[in-house]
Chain A
Amino acid sequence: MILAHGKIIEESRQGEIIAALKDEIPLILAQEGLNPELVIAACDRLSLRAQAGEFDAVAKPLLEMAHLPYEAYLSYARMFSGEGLRKKMSLELAGYPLGLEEVTPHLFRKRVALGVLLHIAAGNVDVLPAYSVIEGLLAGNINLLKLPTGDKGLSVKLLSELIAEEPRLADYIYVFDVPSAEIETMKALARYANAIVVWGGDAAVKGVRELAEPNTKIIEWGHKLSFAYATSQATDEQLKRLAEDICRTNQVMCSSCQGIYLDTESDEETNLFAERFFEILRQKNLEMGKASLGMRAKAALNVDNEKLEGKSLVLSSDGVSVIVYPDEALTLSFLFRNVWIRKLPEQRIIPILRPYRGYLQSCALCCEEGKAQDLSNSLIKAGICRICDGGMSSFTEGESHDGTYPLKDYSRIVDCLK
């Protein structure tokens, strides 16, 4: 299924539609431009419909596949609310000229759209591809979306509903289903774009660099890892909040906690902390209900294997585990409520984490108040983009994408004469 001119169209016509864009894009660009208020109002109406459960039939199976709670869906829907988007605009474009801004009596400045964005979405089952397009719209761009492989139709559904809410958006939204292997088609799309927005890992970014012309900007939103940093003085409440987030997301999101670094050099202290956190995680897991059998089974094999390897302290029961490793490496956990714990004294934060700088996202800080400021500073200097509390996966509107504001990246500042 593809989307063009506001209609859902058979994939067989994709080639001719892409070819026709060559002449259509200049015509659309020549028009007056897109008023962000139209986008915001349409999103707001759509968000209300989503929150009222209108799209549950499509969303629920996808949530189940991704093992995400319905609550996550509601928080996604709220990302599209008018209030949220307005806040996002004012926050992200703060300092940018709103209209025509005078620099000198002869020189004026304004913010305009980049022009055309090609979004290459990641293979996740969620609203991200559609959300990426909406960000492009807010900045006033024409958006070409290449669906991820194995897309389940959610993006086309959401964006066509958005156009139904506001038909004037039709010229600014195109969705294509081009396999990444079809290099020529991908190149044709890339040639139309002022910038390519790529979601995904290093392989995806590398692929995009190969198909982009040198004059095309590449905006990368890569895969990220998140973790927690704690001191032994962390309160039970702080750790409970962290454990709850781990259980709720099953650690599958970029912002989910994979493990905990403890501010200590002592193995004994680490083991004591591990036992304490394990008990909290175990309780939370029982309170919230266990993860699915498939997830537990997958993790059980990994955890059992870790026990056989005999190189770490493994605490496990009821389908959750805490594993203490002797090194300081940042790794993915076994997911599904299985957390690693490693020593990382405060003064080693920067040297140890800096090598991972491109891959760091959130860090939940669980410590006494007096230390928070210093630890935050060190973590930020090491490359962390977001310091938060244990409720790591609850985002508020207007938060950055891994350290930058996308609307700025999707805009340019032009100087002009009055």
Chain B
Amino acid sequence: MDSIKKLFRSRHPYAVAESEALFVKAMKENVAWHYQRCPDYKRILDQAGFAPESIETSADLAKIPPLPTLYFKHHYLASLPDSKMILKATSSGTSGHNQSRIGYDFYTLMRGWAMVRRTFRYHHIWRLRPTHFVIFGYEPHKGNDKGIAKTAWGFTFSAPALSKDYAIRWKDGSYQVDLANIEKKLIHYAKGRHPIRSLGFPAYTYFLLQQMKEHGIKVSLPKGSLLTLGGGWKEFYAQAVSKQVFYDLAYEVLGLKDTSIVEFFGAVEHPILWTDCRAHHFHVPAYARVILRDPDTLMPVPDGQMGLINLLTPMSRACPLCSVMTDDLGILHDEPCACGLSSPYLEIVGRVGIEDIKTCAAGAEDLLKEPKK
């Protein structure tokens, strides 16, 4: 497992070109590891006629059969026994049968920690100043396995926390959204001198900002404050809110410039911390690669062309997350960026399908799931 360890300890989190050979080797080790330990993964690779030892060059990475996230929703794939999993996370879908369950073992989490440390350092996210944390997400609770809740909680350690407030609170045995409380707290903290850090789904953050605007609230968050977003823009596709509209609103209501807004993305099926640069581009980190695939053929498309986003990483020792196909369409840009990084960047265009329209045929599907007499 040496190559994987080395990869996650690379000095520079965006040294993609420099780490290419190491990445390929790490992938080979990781695919072989899961092939030997996870019978379902072995079956899939065998069915596709793919042998882990055939991975030799970067071009071979595209040949590793990608598993759609959908597959994880129906199958629990693991290469380690339950006793080794120190953390289990589910994806943030709302309905029970539509969630992926992914386990994490100690080594995987250590790799993740090394990645977070370096990535945060690169983006100047570690701070020593005492900070108020405002989470537009779930309050931690022992019954909540959602990956996003765990990430949010972890994030409250990125600076010494003066306070932690959550928009979705655990009250009387269930989760309840309480935006009014968050609004009150933000106004209160804005008057103080300690910076504020928020983390949350873009959608919740946007709704809160809109609500504050409707209430005529305009504050100026203390210097060093940071608005961080994670969990994707899926809820926005129907609303067609562009990022620029979001940034403008944040400036109007909170007095925050877009350079104080950082966005993350990752998924329980791809636990890599993608972080946008100051030009708001998601550069490919050294720990992962992305392949855009043609929906009709599932073959890679050239840079600059839209396709299904296939994410690759050798991070997990616990589950075969080597090559995962997401539900998103995107474009990979291999062009110079104002931030100075040379690694290509991924533009997430949107979720596949037509989510906004409830078709009458699709409406019938739910009915058919009910037991028949």
**A positions within 8 Å CB-CB of B:** 65-67, 122-125, 150, 200-203, 222-226, 251-254, 256, 258, 290, 293-302, 304-305, 308-310, 317-319, 330-332, 335, 355-356, 359
- Complex interface: chain B residues within 8 A of A200 (CB): 363
Nearest residue in A to B43 (C-beta to C-beta)? Answer: A310
Asked if B68 and A305 make an inter-chain contact with CB atoms under 8 angstroms apart, the answer reads yes
Taken together as a complex, chains A and B put the C-alpha atoms of A297 and B362 apart, in Å, by 17
Asked if A308 and B368 make an inter-chain contact with CB atoms under 8 angstroms apart, the answer reads no
Given contacts A304-B68, A304-B298, contact A297 B363 (CB under 8 A): no
Asked if A332 and B295 make an inter-chain contact with CB atoms under 8 angstroms apart, the answer reads no
Interface string of B350-373 (1 = CB under 8 A from A): 101110111111111111101011
Asked if B295 and A293 make an inter-chain contact with CB atoms under 8 angstroms apart, the answer reads yes
Taken together as a complex, chains A and B put the C-alpha atoms of A302 and B353 apart, in Å, by 11
The prevalent SS among residues of B at the interface is mixed
Contact size range, B: 35 or more
- Complex interface: chain A residues within 8 A of B364 (CB): 201, 223-225, 254, 332, 359
Asked if B70 and A300 make an inter-chain contact with CB atoms under 8 angstroms apart, the answer reads no
Partner of B361, one of A225, A300, A301: A225
Partner of A304, one of B325, B368, B372: B325
9 further A-B pairs in the complex, CB-CB below 8 A; given A296-B296, A301-B308: A225-B361, A225-B368, A252-B360, A253-B360, A298-B327, A298-B354, A301-B325, A317-B297, A332-B362
B229 in the interface (beta carbon within 8 A): no
Taken together as a complex, chains A and B put the C-alpha atoms of A401 and B51 apart, in Å, by 55
- Complex interface: chain A residues within 8 A of B361 (CB): 223, 225-226, 251-254, 256, 258, 332, 335
* Smallest beta-carbon distance A205→chain B, Å: 10
Nearest residue in A to B44 (C-beta to C-beta)? Answer: A308
Asked if B368 and A124 make an inter-chain contact with CB atoms under 8 angstroms apart, the answer reads no
- Complex interface: chain A residues within 8 A of B372 (CB): 355-356
Nearest residue in B to A200 (C-beta to C-beta)? Answer: B363
Identify 14 residue pairs between A and B in the complex whose beta-carbon atoms are under 8 Å apart, listed by A's number.
A123-B358, A124-B360, A224-B360, A225-B364, A226-B361, A252-B360, A253-B359, A294-B329, A297-B329, A299-B295, A301-B325, A301-B352, A330-B368, A355-B372
Interface string of B318-330 (1 = CB under 8 A from A): 0000000101010
Asked if B295 and A319 make an inter-chain contact with CB atoms under 8 angstroms apart, the answer reads yes
Taken together as a complex, chains A and B put the C-alpha atoms of A256 and B363 apart, in Å, by 13
Taken together as a complex, chains A and B put the C-alpha atoms of A298 and B329 apart, in Å, by 10
* Smallest beta-carbon distance A329→chain B, Å: 8
Instruction: Report the 4 A-B pairs with minimum CB-CB distance, sorted nearest first.
Output: A298-B353, A355-B372, A223-B363, A297-B352
Asked if A300 and B308 make an inter-chain contact with CB atoms under 8 angstroms apart, the answer reads yes
* Smallest beta-carbon distance A298→chain B, Å: 3
Given contacts A297-B352, A308-B44, contact A359 B308 (CB under 8 A): no
B203 in the interface (beta carbon within 8 A): no
* Smallest beta-carbon distance B61→chain A, Å: 18
* Smallest beta-carbon distance A56→chain B, Å: 20
Taken together as a complex, chains A and B put the C-alpha atoms of A203 and B320 apart, in Å, by 38
**B positions within 8 Å CB-CB of A:** 43-44, 47, 65, 67-68, 70-71, 74, 295-298, 306, 308, 325, 327, 329, 350, 352-354, 356-368, 370, 372-373
Asked if A254 and B360 make an inter-chain contact with CB atoms under 8 angstroms apart, the answer reads yes
- Complex interface: chain A residues within 8 A of B325 (CB): 301, 304
* Smallest beta-carbon distance B174→chain A, Å: 17
Nearest residue in B to A302 (C-beta to C-beta)? Answer: B70
- Complex interface: chain B residues within 8 A of A355 (CB): 372-373
Taken together as a complex, chains A and B put the C-alpha atoms of A293 and B305 apart, in Å, by 12
Taken together as a complex, chains A and B put the C-alpha atoms of A256 and B350 apart, in Å, by 27
Asked if A310 and B47 make an inter-chain contact with CB atoms under 8 angstroms apart, the answer reads yes
Asked if B67 and A223 make an inter-chain contact with CB atoms under 8 angstroms apart, the answer reads no
Nearest residue in A to B365 (C-beta to C-beta)? Answer: A332
Partner of B362, one of A252, A294, A310, A330: A252
Taken together as a complex, chains A and B put the C-alpha atoms of A301 and B66 apart, in Å, by 10
Given contacts A224-B360, A252-B361, A310-B47, contact A294 B354 (CB under 8 A): yes
Asked if A297 and B368 make an inter-chain contact with CB atoms under 8 angstroms apart, the answer reads no
Nearest residue in A to B328 (C-beta to C-beta)? Answer: A297
Asked if B366 and A335 make an inter-chain contact with CB atoms under 8 angstroms apart, the answer reads no
Partner of A122, one of B43, B68, B353, B360: B360
* Smallest beta-carbon distance B64→chain A, Å: 13
Taken together as a complex, chains A and B put the C-alpha atoms of A304 and B326 apart, in Å, by 12
Nearest residue in A to B65 (C-beta to C-beta)? Answer: A308
Taken together as a complex, chains A and B put the C-alpha atoms of A67 and B359 apart, in Å, by 10
Taken together as a complex, chains A and B put the C-alpha atoms of A355 and B365 apart, in Å, by 15
Asked if A296 and B295 make an inter-chain contact with CB atoms under 8 angstroms apart, the answer reads yes
- Complex interface: chain A residues within 8 A of B365 (CB): 331-332
- Complex interface: chain A residues within 8 A of B370 (CB): 202
Asked if A356 and B368 make an inter-chain contact with CB atoms under 8 angstroms apart, the answer reads yes
Nearest residue in B to A125 (C-beta to C-beta)? Answer: B357
Asked if B354 and A65 make an inter-chain contact with CB atoms under 8 angstroms apart, the answer reads yes
- Complex interface: chain A residues within 8 A of B360 (CB): 122, 124, 223-224, 252-254
Asked if A293 and B306 make an inter-chain contact with CB atoms under 8 angstroms apart, the answer reads yes
Asked if B359 and A201 make an inter-chain contact with CB atoms under 8 angstroms apart, the answer reads no
Taken together as a complex, chains A and B put the C-alpha atoms of A67 and B65 apart, in Å, by 31
Asked if B70 and A305 make an inter-chain contact with CB atoms under 8 angstroms apart, the answer reads yes
Asked if B296 and A66 make an inter-chain contact with CB atoms under 8 angstroms apart, the answer reads no
* Smallest beta-carbon distance B40→chain A, Å: 9
Asked if A335 and B357 make an inter-chain contact with CB atoms under 8 angstroms apart, the answer reads no
* Smallest beta-carbon distance B21→chain A, Å: 30
Partner of B367, one of A202, A295, A309: A202
Asked if B296 and A319 make an inter-chain contact with CB atoms under 8 angstroms apart, the answer reads yes
Most B C-beta atoms less than 10 A away, residue of A226, A290, A335? A335
* Smallest beta-carbon distance A373→chain B, Å: 28
Taken together as a complex, chains A and B put the C-alpha atoms of A122 and B352 apart, in Å, by 23
Asked if B71 and A305 make an inter-chain contact with CB atoms under 8 angstroms apart, the answer reads yes
Asked if A308 and B68 make an inter-chain contact with CB atoms under 8 angstroms apart, the answer reads yes
Taken together as a complex, chains A and B put the C-alpha atoms of A27 and B373 apart, in Å, by 48
* Smallest beta-carbon distance A401→chain B, Å: 12
Taken together as a complex, chains A and B put the C-alpha atoms of A200 and B329 apart, in Å, by 31
Given contacts A305-B68, A359-B364, contact A294 B358 (CB under 8 A): no
Asked if B363 and A65 make an inter-chain contact with CB atoms under 8 angstroms apart, the answer reads no
Partner of A124, one of B354, B357, B373: B357
* Smallest beta-carbon distance B205→chain A, Å: 22
* Smallest beta-carbon distance B53→chain A, Å: 22
* Smallest beta-carbon distance A381→chain B, Å: 17
Taken together as a complex, chains A and B put the C-alpha atoms of A200 and B359 apart, in Å, by 10
Asked if B329 and A318 make an inter-chain contact with CB atoms under 8 angstroms apart, the answer reads no
Nearest residue in A to B371 (C-beta to C-beta)? Answer: A355
Partner of A297, one of B44, B308, B357: B308
- Complex interface: chain B residues within 8 A of A123 (CB): 358
Asked if B367 and A297 make an inter-chain contact with CB atoms under 8 angstroms apart, the answer reads no
Taken together as a complex, chains A and B put the C-alpha atoms of A362 and B174 apart, in Å, by 43
Taken together as a complex, chains A and B put the C-alpha atoms of A66 and B43 apart, in Å, by 39
* Smallest beta-carbon distance B94→chain A, Å: 15
Taken together as a complex, chains A and B put the C-alpha atoms of A122 and B368 apart, in Å, by 18
